[in-house]
Amino acid sequence: MRVLVLRPGEAAARTQEFLARLGHEAVAAPLLIYTRTKTPRPSGAFDAMLATSAQAFAGFQADGNSEILPLYVVGARTAQAASEAGFREPEIVAPDAKALAQALAQSLSPPANLLYPAGRDRKPDLEQSLAAAGFSVIPWIVYEAQPASVLPDEIAQALRTGSIDAALHYSRRSAEIFCALIEQANLAEPARRLRHVAISHDCAQGLSGLGAGEICVAATPDGSAMAALLSPV
């Protein structure tokens, strides 16, 4: 299959290589452009750090304090990014934010102070769950993501000619941006002919703007489960 990978930079390159090993051809279109905010680390003493995205550590500048905190993360890629940035090995690598909140509640005693390097636009679930359990979560806004304003020309042309078979979606926000951009480019009808694979049910909700079409949700939130939903070559 020819697969549209809707994620940016190195993440897209890794996915393209992975899909190529499975016999698929992948093209990428970044719908979110990530930049560092250069926000200073919040003051105060912290008992641990938590992170839910590898973007939290992209371009990280060591401050001599954050790196020594016990670390709790979501996903193997986030753990790898933390290691590359000089952080200690995570105490726990959870599969998702809900599991991370549960693990923290079992590992730490409230009212622990938790430093949370995160994006400006993020889901509130993790912070709300930990606050309800008695923890103090201090966000540290280290990156932000700006939406793409148009689809890349080559992607728009591929949709028009029907040379893309499927699309992989990685977040609700990027799925919503995709729907807005295809509507803007008058490509809603050809986009509905694709097989759309979402990394989670929440992500799939962002595809409601398609109006119709085939939408599949990965059994687990990872690339292997998403690839399993692509038709055999």
Residues 10 and 103 in one domain: no
Residues 212 and 118 in one domain: no
Residues 57 and 7 in one domain: no
Model pTM score = 0.78
Which of residues 126, 145, 164 is at a domain's end? 145
- Using CA of residue 80, residue 85, residue 90, residue 92, what is the dihedral sign? negative
Residues 166 and 136 in one domain: no
Residues 156 and 131 in one domain: no
Residues 129 and 169 in one domain: no
What CATH code is carried by the domain that includes residue 105? 3.40.50.10090
Which of residues 145, 175, 193 is at a domain's end? 145
The residue behind tokens 């400006």 is 120
Question: Is residue 131, in this structure, part of any structural domain at all?
Answer: yes
**Each residue's pLDDT tens digit, 8-17:** 888 899 999 9
Residues 212 and 181 in one domain: yes
Residues 58 and 133 in one domain: yes
**Each residue's pLDDT tens digit, 101-155:** 999 999 999 999 999 999 998 889 999 999 999 999 999 999 998 999 999 999 9
Which of residues 145, 171, 197 is at a domain's end? 145
Kindly report the number of other CB atoms within 10 A of residue 84's CB atom.
12
Listed in sequence order, the residues at least 6 apart from 49 whose beta carbon sits closer than 8 Å to its beta carbon are 66, 69, 70, 71, 72, 87, 114, 115, 116, 117
Q: Report the domain count for the chain.
A: 2
Residues 39 and 108 in one domain: yes
Residues 133 and 55 in one domain: yes
pLDDT of residue 102: 93
The whole domain housing 76 covers 35-145
Question: Is residue 232, in this structure, part of any structural domain at all?
Answer: no
**Each residue's pLDDT tens digit, 146-165:** 999 999 999 999 999 999 99
E strands, the chain, in order = 2-6, 25-28, 32-36, 48-51, 71-74, 92-94, 113-119, 136-147, 166-169, 195-198, 214-217
